Structure 1
Amino acid sequence: MQKFTCHVVLLLFLLCFFQAFSWSQFNQGENYEGSSDLINLEYHMGPVLASAINLYIIWYGQWNPTHQATIRDFLDSLSSSSSVPYPSVADWWDTVRLYTDQTGLNITATISISGEFYDSGYSHGVYLSRLSMQSIIKAAVTSHSRPLPLNPHNGLYLVLTSQDVQVEDFCRAVCGFHYFTFPILVGVTVPYAWVGYSGTQCPGVDGMISVIAHELAEVSSNPLINAWYAGEDPTAPTEIADLCLGLYGSGGGGGYMGKVYKDAWGNGYNVHGVKGRRFLVQWVWNPVKRRCFGPNALD
């Protein structure tokens, strides 16, 4: 999505994380798991990310290696692995894969971290605008030291800003967004997403994981803002994750996140990842079932 409101949700089991609300969706009223009365999700004939995705991460600012490892493990979990128990992150991604382009090709099942760039020197300062993300990508692909490749064929760029970086409207209005680069700025058109680290407001990196999942689902199904979304205004689309904000399990809605699992410390999760990881990831809209859905659903 291009813009969404961010607020802190306190979980009963003492885990808080950032959620996203689209103003257009907020004004339509509450969304409940299993309801499709307000949904008019349409395909606008644009491309989806059907080719295997080469994901390029730009770590902007100073990062804790432990947090980086958690994020990498989540991203590595998106592609299916028989060694990960059900329900897995890859099982969650299967719902995203139901979306197709006009030729019938589904969103890819393969997402690989193909490069990482460390902008630890804050090349564009600690106060960033939304447009700054494109300049950061440009700097990463033209750097004299270990530049990222500029991949217009199947590249996806993920800009992650550290906790000391302030981005325009974060977290007052946005905690992440996706868009595409302008050739005049970067040289080519490539899809990208930005997510800011929310660990200063919430414990750990858990909240950031859900926002990353949200943005990856939407950039894959609407990379050029002309594919899958609801609403009449492409400049403020309601996308497949926006439709399911705040829903993580069966029975969710009206401020209740739904039924999720708990680990030995009482932390909530709903999917398994690689290396024994457990993540809490919001549901997305299932176009076949016509409702919000996740692999931990009870029905």
Structure 2
Amino acid sequence: MALFILICFFLVSSSLPLPYSAAAVETNDFQPEVYNPKLPPRALTSSKKFEGSSDLVHLRYHMGPVLSSPINIYIIWYGKWAQPQKLLIKDFLLSISASHRAAASPSVAEWWRTVSLYTDQTGANVSRSVLIAGEYADQRYSHGAQLTRLSIQQVIANAVRVAPFPVDHKNGIYLILTSEDVAVQDFCRAVCGFHYFTFPSMVGYTLPYAWVGNSGKQCPDVCAYPFAVPAYMTGGGPSALSPPNRDVGIDGMISVIGHELAELSSNPLVNAWYAGEDPTAPTEIGDLCEGLYGTGGGGGYIGQVMRDREGRTFNLNGRRKRKFLVQWIWNPTLKACAGPNALD
């Protein structure tokens, strides 16, 4: 089985963020249409956006823990962040535990139910309770505007030391989000996000964490697909999808956040659920479905998603009338990629 990056495009998008109230999607009874965007050039289906091997074998459980207790997310906002951007990302995170009354189907909470199917050796499932337990704004770029994988751990150590963050090694995960002016090792070239765990020598504890960068200025054509297209495609190739919240960098970032949180929850110490025999290059539950967003996806199609009356594309509903486009996750019961917006 080969790993595909499946990127498709349909409508020209705008990268200008709206104020929080304006970015929320309409509240009337308009029914969004379903469509399947065009097949992209073959050259776009062989690149790699996330951590993980391209050699897919059978997904196996390696006897390690999953995040079965209520999950506390501690966010580190590294760099300069606009408040509407923060609110959009937090709405996505809080939508994971939202009730059906807070978000219409297909919802982010329904999408997370696939992640919650994964269990540890005691039979305990990944928790469906995901909370934002704390936030820290590192506005002074405590470790500069160029970070390595190791210095990201130092950013966590700094936040734990100076912020009211507990060292929550039982329920906590640490989410480092870098602003669009921060360069990170391998960002744009090999990855758009990754997850791992901190070294006691760096932080003092072993803590699961994930990093995701805002690619809005550095490489939207690499990490904000399908909301941006490379320059060489602008002469007649498929155009970009319109992002659901009109912010190419943040809307693209949210799908990466979903990808990494799903993998972090099912494989927090890189010894639980993954394919392959090398834990240093695992293929995880997000990697197996990279580029798939709806029914009919595969072979270059993202699948059937939805489009609102303003042409913005999405496949999930969130709290506060938000809409998101987030990739599907491997379902261990169906042994296939799945999402709540499936039409079959």
Give the TM-score normalised by the residue count of structure 2: 0.78
Cα deviation, 1:158-189, whole Å, max 9, x if unaligned, reads 00000000001111111100000111111111
1:14 paired residue number: 12
> How many residues matched?
282
1:231 paired residue number: 276
Query: Does 1:171 find its partner at 2:149?
Result: no
Cα distance in 2 between the residues matched to 1:289 and 1:237: 21
Cα distance in 1 between the residues matched to 2:6 and 2:118: 30
Cα distance in 2 between the residues matched to 1:218 and 1:251: 23
User: Relative to structure 1, is the Cα distance of residues 205 and 216 closer, same or farther in structure 2, using a 3 angstrom cutoff?
Assistant: same
SS of alignment partner, residue 187 of structure 2: coil
1:92 paired residue number: 111
Letter in 2 for 1:119: D
Shift of 1:14: 3.0
Cα distance in 2 between the residues matched to 1:49 and 1:23: 20
Cα distance in 2 between the residues matched to 1:22 and 1:140: 25
Letter in 2 for 1:14: V
Cα distance in 2 between the residues matched to 1:99 and 1:148: 28
2:159 paired residue number: 140
2:148 aligned to which of 129, 132, 136: 129
* 5+ long unaligned stretches in structure 1: 29-37
1:33 paired residue number: none
SS of alignment partner, residue 159 of structure 1: strand
Cα distance in 2 between the residues matched to 1:94 and 1:51: 15
Cα distance in 2 between the residues matched to 1:234 and 1:156: 20
1:240 paired residue number: 285
2:332 paired residue number: 287
User: Relative to structure 1, is the Cα distance of residues 226 and 16 closer, same or farther in structure 2, using a 3 angstrom cutoff?
Assistant: farther
Matches within 5 A, 1:254-293: 254-293=299-338
Cα distance in 1 between the residues matched to 2:294 and 2:82: 30
Shift of 1:148: 1.6
Q: Is the 8 A contact 2:7 2:301 kept in 1?
A: no
User: Relative to structure 1, is the Cα distance of residues 88 and 156 closer, same or farther in structure 2, using a 3 angstrom cutoff?
Assistant: same
* 5+ long unaligned stretches in structure 2: 16-46, 221-227, 229-247
Shift of 1:297: 0.6
SS of alignment partner, residue 257 of structure 2: helix
2:53 aligned to which of 24, 49, 74: 24
Cα distance in 2 between the residues matched to 1:125 and 1:169: 16
Aligned-pair identity (%)? 59
User: Relative to structure 1, is the Cα distance of residues 39 and 174 closer, same or farther in structure 2, using a 3 angstrom cutoff?
Assistant: same
- Please say which structure displays the higher CA radius of gyration: 2
Q: Is the 8 A contact 2:50 2:194 kept in 1?
A: no
Shift of 1:22: 5.4
1:54 paired residue number: 72
Q: Is the 8 A contact 1:206 1:280 kept in 2?
A: yes
Q: Is the 8 A contact 2:195 2:208 kept in 1?
A: yes
Shift of 1:20: 2.5
Alpha-carbon RMSD: 2.1
1:110 paired residue number: 129
Shift of 1:13: 2.4
Higher strand share: 1
Letter in 2 for 1:297: A
Give the TM-score normalised by the residue count of structure 1: 0.90
Q: Is the 8 A contact 1:15 1:268 kept in 2?
A: no
Cα distance in 1 between the residues matched to 2:52 and 2:74: 30
Shift of 1:16: 9.6
Cα distance in 2 between the residues matched to 1:22 and 1:246: 14
Cα deviation, 1:236-259, whole Å, max 9, x if unaligned, reads 000000000100000001111000
Q: Is the 8 A contact 1:20 1:242 kept in 2?
A: no
1:156 paired residue number: 173
SS of alignment partner, residue 297 of structure 1: coil
Cα deviation, 1:10-48, whole Å, max 9, x if unaligned, reads 5212359997255632xx4xxxxxxxxx64000000000
Letter in 1 for 2:339: G
Structure 1 moving runs of 4+ over 4 Å: 7-10, 15-19
Cα distance in 1 between the residues matched to 2:161 and 2:48: 34
Shift of 1:216: 0.1
SS of alignment partner, residue 194 of structure 2: strand
